[in-house]
Structure 1
Amino acid sequence: MTRHPTQQRQLKVLRDYAAGLLDTRRAIEKAGEDYAELVIALAKHDLDLPRPADTAKRQADIERARAILQPLLRNVR
């Protein structure tokens, strides 16, 4: 079955989103759907729910959390 170009683009967006290559807002903008429709489309195409997008902001958040939590965890007995 040949897919329409729009369907192919949407499937690429869904695959990229599921792989964590797109954040939620960008995936919604590109797919032209809201969050609920995005999750339903993932399920229809047998794609996993997305992992967090690997962005510079996420990495900064992880480093900030690590800097705060590691000293606290060292003192837990």
Structure 2
Amino acid sequence: MATQTVSSLLRLPKRQRLEIAESLWLSVADEDKMPVPEQHRKILDARLASYRSGKSKPISHDELMNRLRSK
């Protein structure tokens, strides 16, 4: 890719750069064929079981953002 093109993309507002990055990723990602490491799968299964059993509770997006900002 030409350096000029990359330079011009990097000058775009953050939101537009994120949208372009997402479009590029989705154009090559095949979720059905992407490997998920076994350790990741175990963590996901444990978290889902915790949620389903009521041991963990979901939080809203606003609550998540508040928690992240306070760190």
| TM-score, with structure 1 as normaliser | 0.30
TM-score (norm 2): 0.32
* Bigger radius of gyration among the two: 2
Q: Which has the higher contact order (CA 8 A, sep 6+)?
A: 1
